[in-house]
Chain A
Amino acid sequence: MDMTLITQSVLASGPEIIIIIGACIALMLSLVPHPRQEAALIGFSLVMIILAAAMSYSLNDRPQSAYSGMFVVDDFSTFFKMLLYLGTALTVLMSGKYLAKEGVVKGEYYVLLLFSLVGAMIMVSGTDLLMIYIGLELQALSIYVLTGFLKKGVRSNEAALKYVILGAFSSGIFLYGMSLFYGLTGTTQLDQMAIILTAQDLAQDQNDPMLILATLFLLVGLLFKVGAVPFHMWVPDIYEGAPTPITGFMSVAAKAAAFAVIIRIFMDSLVVLQPVWLISVAAIAVLTLSIGSFVALVQNNIKRMLAYSSIAHAGFLLLGLVAGGDEGRSSIMLYLLVYTFMNMGIFAVVVLLNRGSDVGEPLTDFSGLAKSHAGLAFLALFFLFSLAGIPPTGGFFAKFYVLVALVSSGHVALAVIAVVLSAVAAWFYIRIIMLMYVAAPEGPRTIQITFSMKVVLLVTFMGTLLTGILPAWFLDLAGGLNGAAPLPGLG
Chain B
Amino acid sequence: MMDLPLLSILIFLPLIGVPLLLLSRRDNMVRWLTLIILVADFLIATGLLIAFDPTTAQMQFRESLPWVPALGIGYKLGIDGISVWFLFLTALLGWICVLASWTSITVRVKEFMINLLVIQSLMLGVFCALDLFLFYVFWEAMLVPMYLIIGIWGGTNRVYAAFKFFLYTLLGSLLFLIGILVLYFHGGRTFDILALMAGSYDFPVQAGVFIAFLIAFAVKVPMVPFHTWLPDAHVQAPTAGSIILAGVLLKMGAYGFLRFSLPMLPDASHYFAPMMIGLSAVAIVYGGFLALAQKDIKKLIAYSSVSHMGFITLGIFTFTLNGLSGAIIQMFNHGITTGALFLFVGLIYERTHSRDIPSYGGMIKAVPLFGILFATFLLASMAVPGTNGFVGEILVIAGTFAVSGWAATAAVVGALIGAAYLLGLYRQMLLGPVRIPGNAKLWDLRLRELVCAAPLLIFVFWLGLYPKPFLSILGPTLDNLMSQTSPIIQAQGTRP
Contacts and interface: CB of A to CB of B under 8 A. Distances in A.
Contact of B171 (A390, A423, A472, A476): A423
Contact of A404 (B66, B162, B181): B181
Given A419-B174, A437-B151, A475 B181 contact: no
Contacts, number: 81
B144 interface: yes
Contact of A438 (B140, B143, B151, B175): B151
Interface stretch (A259-267, A275-283, A407-415): A407-415
A392 B67 CA distance: 13
Interface string A449-481: 000000000000000000000011001100100
A430 B71 contact: no
Contacts of B70: 472, 475-476, 479
Contacts of A471: 68
A85 B143 CA distance: 35
A475 B137 contact: no
Interface residues of A, number: 32
Contacts of A391: 136-137, 140-141
Given A390-B141, A396-B140, A476-B70, A419 B178 contact: yes
Interface in A307-336: none
B166 interface: yes
A420 B147 CA distance: 19
Nearest to A400: B177
A396 B170 CA distance: 12
Nearest to A474: B68
Interface residues of B, number: 35
Which residue, of A374, A392, A419, has the highest number of chain B Cβ atoms within 10 A?
A419
A419 B175 contact: yes
B166 A426 contact: yes
Contacts of A475: 68, 70-71
Contacts of B71: 401, 404, 475
A427 interface: yes
Nearest to A397: B68
Contacts of B141: 390-392
Contacts of A427: 163, 167
Contacts of B171: 420, 423
A434 B151 contact: yes
A390 B144 contact: yes
A416 interface: yes
Contacts of B177: 400, 403, 419
Contacts of B68: 471-472, 475
Nearest to A426: B170
Contacts of B111: 370, 374
B152 interface: yes
Interface string B187-202: 0000000000000000
B148 A472 contact: no
B330 to A, nearest CB: 30
Nearest to A468: B137
Interface string B56-92: 0000000000111111000000000000000000000
A403 B137 contact: no
A422 interface: yes
A434 B174 contact: no
A415 B181 CA distance: 10
A385 interface: yes
B158 interface: yes
A390 B182 contact: no
Contact of B185 (A390, A401, A408): A408
B159 interface: yes
A324 B182 CA distance: 18
In the complex, which of the residues A385, A427, A438 has the most CB atoms of chain B within 10 Å of its own CB atom? A438
A311 to B, nearest CB: 20
11 contacts: A390-B144, A404-B71, A407-B181, A407-B184, A419-B175, A420-B175, A423-B171, A434-B162, A437-B151, A475-B71, A476-B70
Interface of B: 66-71, 111, 133, 136-137, 140-141, 143-144, 147-148, 151-152, 158-159, 162-163, 166-167, 170-171, 174-175, 177-178, 181-182, 184-185, 208
Given A403-B177, A472-B66, 5 more contacts: A391-B136, A391-B141, A419-B175, A426-B170, A472-B68
Interface of A: 370, 374, 385, 390-392, 396, 400-401, 403-404, 407-408, 412, 415-416, 419-420, 422-423, 426-427, 430, 433-434, 437-438, 471-472, 475-476, 479
